[in-house]
Amino acid sequence: MGKRIVVNDSFQRGYVYALTAPAGKAFDPEFRPELSPREMLALGVFDGDYFGGEHDEFPAAWFTNARLAVHGPDPGLNCFGVHASQPLEVWEAKGWIRAQDPRGWFQWYCRYWRGRRSEDDARQIRRWKAMTRHVAQVKKNCKKGDLSCRRKQRQALLHWAIDSRKL
């Protein structure tokens, strides 16, 4: 703990943050993700292209079994085989992006998982909690275990560390 991480990629130059909590632990009690970043990447999320190949800041083990795109986004790499993301421009227009995490929620989550705590945690956790409406819709409209039902919504839930395969 207390380790400093320096980020130099195409989205951030010279961004520095400290790991102040143990990796994967000491989460806000209201934040209970069901999947780690490593598990999400292995399942297939964000068309395999969230970091665009720029992931040196994170543990290499996270990417050992990751489903990563080689030539741009590939929805076939997603767990449910469907595209379920909005472009970054939409997220920016809606005000969901902050300078400390210019790639969005998953970048925040990866850094939070590693142990960074920041002034943006409460906002991001509120956004994560808002995904429960999608959980309710899948439960209401799909038979338990029918993974062919609402695939796009299930994929979107995976993007938020909610294991929709169990719904």
| Cα–Cα distance measured from residue 77 to residue 113, given in angstroms and rounded to the nearest whole number | 23
**From residue 83, how far is each of 37, 44, 78, 131, 159 by CA, in Å?**
19, 11, 7, 17, 11
The predicted-structure confidence for 3-12, as pLDDT tens digits, reads as follows 999 999 999 9
Model pLDDT, residue 26: 97
Model pLDDT, residue 87: 85
**pLDDT tens-place values along the chain, 167 residues long:** 689 999 999 999 999 999 999 999 999 999 999 999 999 999 999 999 999 889 999 999 999 999 999 989 999 999 999 999 888 889 889 989 999 999 999 999 999 999 999 999 999 999 999 999 999 999 999 999 999 999 999 999 999 999 999 99
Q: Which of 18, 80, 83 is nearest to 49 (CA)?
A: 83
Model pLDDT, residue 129: 97
Q: Is 117 exposed, middle or buried (0-12, 13-18, 19+ CB in 10 A)?
A: middle
* 13-33-21 Cα angle (round to 5): 55
- Cβ atoms within 10 Å, residue 122: 12
Q: Which of 87, 89, 109, 102 is nearest to 162 (CA)?
A: 109
Reported as type and span, the H/E element at residue 110 is helix 105-114
Model pLDDT, residue 1: 63
| Cα–Cα distance measured from residue 85 to residue 108, given in angstroms and rounded to the nearest whole number | 16
Report helix angle 151-159 to 132-141, nearest 10.
Answer: 150
The predicted-structure confidence for 33-64, as pLDDT tens digits, reads as follows 999 999 999 999 999 999 988 999 999 999 99
**From residue 74, how far is each of 21, 39, 46 by CA, in Å?**
34, 18, 8
| Cα–Cα distance measured from residue 33 to residue 5, given in angstroms and rounded to the nearest whole number | 23
